[in-house]
Amino acid sequence: MALKILADFGIDNPRDVSIEDIIYALNIPLKYSKLTNCDGRIIHGDGKSLIVVNDNIGFETRRNFTLAHELGHYLMHRADLIQHLDDSASLAWFDTKNKTRISQQEIEANTFAAEILLPSHLFKEEVFKQPFDPGLIREISDKYNVSRSSVIYRFIEMGNHPICVFYSKDNKVNYWKRSQDFNFKIKECTRIPPPDDSVAAEFFGNGTIYPLNESKQEISKSTWLEVKEEYADDSFYEYCLVHSGTNLAISVIWED
């Protein structure tokens, strides 16, 4: 459906058009309003529907994603949409554990949003033969106006370089996810604080946030991984994407 919309409008690259313009061009009523505890929703009236998006979303990438998510609901689920408010739980499309708690409609709306903002075939072109690097993630994120975390999570599936991603909140590792070809044994670390010598631990412990040019930090192979002693000090890298407001750290680890 996302690719069909782009094709219908003759859009080869979604960078050229804003998602807002697509919504207007489809003649779908859109309104920005004050919403509490929620980023977006759809209001149904008598034969009419309205997309409402919170006018106070701080990040442009998040507003974009919300707009695209609601557009997905509008196009795919309007007739039988389960009434709901979209908040950070339903919009957390990358959280695989969360997927068991949110409905199929949410998964579909999130997949639609990811695909209309940055179609998979374009993403694959962007990362083709590219080693993982924080600069690459920022470049793609800026180019397509999508969040860095969403680029990281798609890199797990479609990147050409094995990575593992740990998602920690309030100084506890919630879950991790790795590329299929990330062939290392990961230490038992969920539901406990991130390892002492990790970059995530520096953030939770001292509030350390590295400047952009230092976002690739050297760690030891044994920081997050179960390795034989002889390899324990081998070089590994961690890029920690943090958000102080929500006390959240997303750590990507990889070998050069």
Q: Does 53 bind Zn ion (CB under 5 A)?
A: no
Query: Could you tell me if 38 and 54 are in contact, meaning their C-beta atoms sit under 8 angstroms apart?
Result: yes
Looking at the Cβ atoms of 90 and 150, the one nearer to Zn ion is: 90
Compute CA 145 distance to the chain's CA centroid, rounded to the nearest angstrom. 12
Nearer to Zn ion, 13 or 104 (CB): 104
Nearer of residues 109 and 137 to Zn ion, judged by Cβ:
109
Output the smallest distance, CB 215 to Zn ion, in A. 32
Closest by CA position to 240, among listed 190, 167, 131, 172: 167
Are the CB atoms for 22 and 1 separated by under 8 Å?
Answer: no
User: Using the rule CB under 5 A, which residue among 23, 54, 74, 86 binds Zn ion?
Assistant: 86
For 96, what's the count of Cα atoms within 13 Å in the CB-facing half-sphere?
Answer: 11
Q: Which stretch binds Zn ion (CB under 5 A): 106-114, 152-160, 173-181, 227-235?
A: 106-114
Using the contact rule CB under 5 A, the part of the chain among 9-17, 81-89, 114-122, 132-140 near Zn ion is: 81-89
Beta strands in 45-163 (DSSP E): 49-54
**Would you count residue 35 as binding Zn ion (CB under 5 A)?**
no
The CB-of-30 to Zn ion minimum distance in angstroms stands at: 15
Report whether 232 contacts 222 (CB < 8 A).
yes
To Zn ion, the closest distance from the beta carbon of 3 in angstroms equals 20
CA atoms lying within 13 Å on the CB side of residue 246: 11
Interface with Zn ion by CB under 5 A: which range of 30-38, 101-109, 185-193, 223-231? 101-109
Report d(CA 174, CA 190) in Å as an integer. Answer: 6
The DSSP bridge partners found for residue 252 are 165, 239
Closest distance between Zn ion and the C-beta of residue 78, in Å?
12
181 Ramachandran zone, left/alpha/beta (phi>0; psi -120 to 50): alpha
* The only residue of 109, 151, 163, 201 in contact with Zn ion, by rule CB under 5 A: 109
Residue nearest to Zn ion (CB): 86
| By the rule CB under 5 A, 42 interacts with Zn ion | no
CA 248 to chain centre: 13
Q: Which stretch binds Zn ion (CB under 5 A): 80-88, 131-139, 174-182, 186-194?
A: 80-88
Which parts of this chain interact with Zn ion (CB under 5 A)? Answer: 86, 90, 106, 109
